[in-house]
Structure 1
């Protein structure tokens, strides 16, 4: 059962944004600890006889916000036992501790996360804040009162929260070519996320999508590393542009992912017949890897100061190294430590992906040892946190993991917690909770939708539409919020339908602009008397490898139903427009000649009215393709710069309505 403390039961921090004194900090921490004192046994698993209890007052250096962060980190680290350090390196899924939140205290957990669809009941802003604060109280009941860091996948808005503003996925934002808008979007996402508890987001994805058959294509800003780097203003939107911004109630710690090469894996099948494009192998030379896959991370770290990095599930195999074998990123000391931390200069911390180390060779102890020594700092072990802590403690005790590596990892994690101001303000600052899903936030999302639309064809001046025209709309995706938002929306995979979250469908947007609109999902309603036909085609929601082409029946082609709808409408109504609502280009070579106009709408999110804005000329078409559009599935992978480059539409293509 979800822990939901009574409203007002937990001490709230002041919402003025001012820093508190060391005395105030200690008081907040001790008051919080008192709330769960009865839940913590006298003999904790973290007890270490012979270690003096810290003096929690204003003379304790790590509790003094006036001291430099480095000094506070050093002071706190020096007070910690090995068990407490390992606890800071451990992240569990909330579902694994929800029945017994005292585990947070017993294990000394440094972090919790909500996976996709892991939410409180009810799924409301207030319930989220209450839930996170409840967990936080248990973290503060530990000997040193180290606050908890709570992470969530806010990849296109706070998608787990019903009522949050849902923006277009990254591929649509890449089509906008508007870094300022991307920063504004992520600032709103940060505001809505932190106001409801979590202080850390697993975003943005800065992968370079080189094969549209990949099920995570929509999480990428595009196929050109230069475009991805340009859109890394997203990091500034999350974190702010100064280190001290992180402590604000409208900022969160960002995570750039998935380091590195996950969008560049080789398509094919494994010995078990599974498609390997997701979590597969990037076969490349060092030179090409640096230019394509690594480039966004250099900018993310050196220009934008990304606070955390999530290594990929995928592997790298060097084509310029004789005898090279694929090495999982979670095990690559070369790429995690030598390149990212030393060469690029990353000072934040590395967080493993969901249960990622269990994909490494060897038994669990070997997997833990390999990844820690490779440079991983925090471990996302959703349901086996106790086993992880025990395994790492044994490896340290045996001398197979040096204490210097543990201290480095914990120092990086603590630095982020101090920068976020969690020691001064451990509980949720709810100042901005009333802005979640507000009209002002949705207006920005609507503008993002409009800017993301890419006009691929516009013959006979089909666009812009006129409000006086009699319009016939066909296709399920015209009136399905779930399909419109895609994966990572309320649940991990997303879901079709209009009941999961509030928003405006594309059909509703059209109906708000035109006086005479007929809708028929299957294009069977009479079509005579209409001036314009609009067919909305596309995909249904998916996430990660579930969406790989070749998995679960996925292809890049349009469905038989979508093709039939195009045939019916475009053959019966003089002017015919097709909208494609999808997370990647689809094969439309045979259907394109049947339509007078064709628009790629991507996955617009909750504000479908933004699509209508450009259809009716209230905003101009400005979107440009962030990926190359293939003529056939057989052309994949196809990318700008290829020697033999003959796409249906090239990278960067996009018309205006006046074309």
Structure 2
């Protein structure tokens, strides 16, 4: 590792964040910068891959685990192994590990599972959602991860959308109120914002991610990854509004959507990602792509992956969720910079944003897992919070009519109640999607009742 704490401003925890970012950026080579913009999946990750390519981030997709029913400590061992490889690189820049903890740390066996957003939306309880975020953050940090890809703040406009359960509501006002998950995950933003950046993490917090920017819940006919056909005024009023609340809470990352706005793919939309989000709204964090999203650009922009990289990075994507073809991505982006098709100023802007988040998240000071948090995973307090969330999320659609006997309250003389159907006694089905796997699984996939 280069230099000492005395000579390297970026290693000085008491130095201003922007001074640390500027100092570290000035020391970085082009390969080191492009490495920071690269996020890879854990199945292709080894210590040499991280060290040799200066990888900035690792994630696991839904259904990707160290091994079946791995305990939290196993996750921590794996992630700390990756982190030690990053710390062994020339500049010692830590990785940021991301996980789809969208209703609890739902990929990890034994973690507390909370209702999905569609259920939490029915509670109309912003403080409850904040507490769910805080509990989730503890269980994410316990497994060594630093970043939760949540909350989804999509405004559901057509229930045919297959990801409806990931939306709090069709009403943007309700979504705005329940975006309090950001403060639960990241911690309450300080009243004084050093360097204009509001998120200062503690060791019990994680980086949050508002997604999917923007309009993913409003696609025509509810088609997933489809086209949201609305005016800018309607986009702003319905779909953009929740992001303003997330930004006010200091959300550190924003994930671009697979979907399009009036035919323009979000991952290629310079106006929305750069002019609106970064310049007009003043977002100082970084934009992350969705899973293999650059491949989704191949239809409108041709099958040339290099061209997809060029268009997406120039539009304002700062970190690319590759997740497997990292060698091709690094090669193509390097070539694009050397040819002048992607400017060095665009690279520096992306890397500045990534480093800024890493500094304010405390990763340089606390890169490894705090093993004292292991006891929080699935603990009694979090289980009770999950039960409270379930109770408050229950909705009675109909309780009879004036001419019918109401279903509730139940007659005290009733001895038995029949609960039937495939979901009646199936823990996996009741947990739903994004539980151990993206689409969810049946059976006793985790601990619970």
TM-score (norm 1): 0.64
Match of 1:344 in 2: 281
Q: Distance in 1 between matches of 2:111 and 2:200?
A: 21
Q: Distance in 2 between matches of 1:495 and 1:94?
A: 21
Match of 2:4 in 1: 56
Q: Distance in 2 between matches of 1:477 and 1:115?
A: 25
Q: Distance in 2 between matches of 1:437 and 1:467?
A: 34
* TM alignment of 1:496-515, pairs within 5 A: 496-497=442-443, 499-504=444-449
1:487 aligns with 2:428: no
* TM alignment of 1:534-573, pairs within 5 A: none
Q: CA deviation at 1:492?
A: 1.4
Q: Distance in 1 between matches of 2:365 and 2:28?
A: 19
Structure 2: any 5+ residue segments left out of the alignment? 191-197
Higher alpha-carbon Rg: 1
> Which of 225, 249, 256 is residue 304 of structure 1 equivalent to?
249
1:81 aligns with 2:29: yes
Q: Distance in 2 between matches of 1:358 and 1:386?
A: 15
1:102-132 CA-partner distances (Å, limit 9, x unpaired) = 1111111000001001111251110010000
1:259 aligns with 2:213: yes
Secondary structure, aligned partner of 1:457: coil
Secondary structure, aligned partner of 2:371: coil
Q: Distance in 2 between matches of 1:298 and 1:248?
A: 23
Q: CA deviation at 1:101?
A: 2.9
* Kept in 2: contact 1:152–1:200 (CA 8 A): yes
Q: CA deviation at 1:462?
A: 2.7
* Kept in 2: contact 1:369–1:392 (CA 8 A): yes
Match of 1:112 in 2: 58
Match of 1:314 in 2: 259
Q: Distance in 1 between matches of 2:199 and 2:268?
A: 33
> Which of 345, 356, 359 is residue 415 of structure 1 equivalent to?
356
Q: Distance in 2 between matches of 1:290 and 1:128?
A: 40
Q: CA deviation at 1:420?
A: 1.2
Match of 1:465 in 2: 410
Q: Taking structure 1 as reference, are residues 246 and 158 closer, same or farther at Cα in structure 2, changes over 3 Å only?
A: farther
Q: Distance in 1 between matches of 2:233 and 2:12?
A: 46
* Kept in 1: contact 2:118–2:165 (CA 8 A): yes
Secondary structure, aligned partner of 2:417: strand
Q: CA deviation at 1:483?
A: 1.2
Q: Distance in 2 between matches of 1:182 and 1:291?
A: 23
* Kept in 2: contact 1:166–1:485 (CA 8 A): yes
RMSD: 1.3
Instruction: Please state which structure has a larger fraction of its residues in helix.
Output: 2
Q: Distance in 1 between matches of 2:114 and 2:419?
A: 24
1:467-491 CA-partner distances (Å, limit 9, x unpaired) = 6531131313221111111100011
Q: Distance in 2 between matches of 1:473 and 1:62?
A: 63
> Which of 89, 97, 101 is residue 154 of structure 1 equivalent to?
101
- The list of structure 1 runs, each at least 4 consecutive aligned residues, that deviate by more than 2 angstroms after superposition, is 56-59, 242-247, 459-462, 464-469
1:211-260 CA-partner distances (Å, limit 9, x unpaired) = 10111100000001111001010100000112687432221000000000
* Kept in 1: contact 2:199–2:252 (CA 8 A): no
Secondary structure, aligned partner of 1:145: coil
* Kept in 2: contact 1:168–1:448 (CA 8 A): yes
> Which of 333, 349, 355 is residue 270 of structure 2 equivalent to?
333
Secondary structure, aligned partner of 1:477: coil
Q: CA deviation at 1:466?
A: 5.6
* TM alignment of 1:599-610, pairs within 5 A: none
Q: Distance in 2 between matches of 1:387 and 1:195?
A: 33
* Kept in 2: contact 1:168–1:445 (CA 8 A): yes
* TM alignment of 1:90-489, pairs within 5 A: 90-97=38-45, 100-121=46-67, 122-242=69-189, 246-267=200-221, 277-301=223-247, 303-317=248-262, 326-360=263-297, 361-362=301-302, 363-459=304-400, 460-465=405-410, 469-475=414-420, 476-489=422-435
* Kept in 1: contact 2:227–2:260 (CA 8 A): yes
Q: Taking structure 1 as reference, are residues 466 and 184 closer, same or farther at Cα in structure 2, changes over 3 Å only?
A: farther
Match of 1:542 in 2: none
Secondary structure, aligned partner of 1:62: helix
Q: Distance in 1 between matches of 2:408 and 2:448?
A: 25
Match of 1:509 in 2: none
1:295-334 CA-partner distances (Å, limit 9, x unpaired) = 1112211x211100001000111xxxxxxxx110000001
Q: Distance in 2 between matches of 1:369 and 1:456?
A: 50
1:515-536 CA-partner distances (Å, limit 9, x unpaired) = xxxxxxxxxxxxxxxxxxxxxx
Q: CA deviation at 1:495?
A: 0.9
TM-score (norm 2): 0.94
Q: Distance in 1 between matches of 2:206 and 2:100?
A: 12
* Kept in 1: contact 2:399–2:407 (CA 8 A): yes
Q: Distance in 1 between matches of 2:347 and 2:34?
A: 7
1:64-92 CA-partner distances (Å, limit 9, x unpaired) = 00101100000000000011000000000
1:442-481 CA-partner distances (Å, limit 9, x unpaired) = 0000000000001122232432236653113131322111
Secondary structure, aligned partner of 2:284: coil
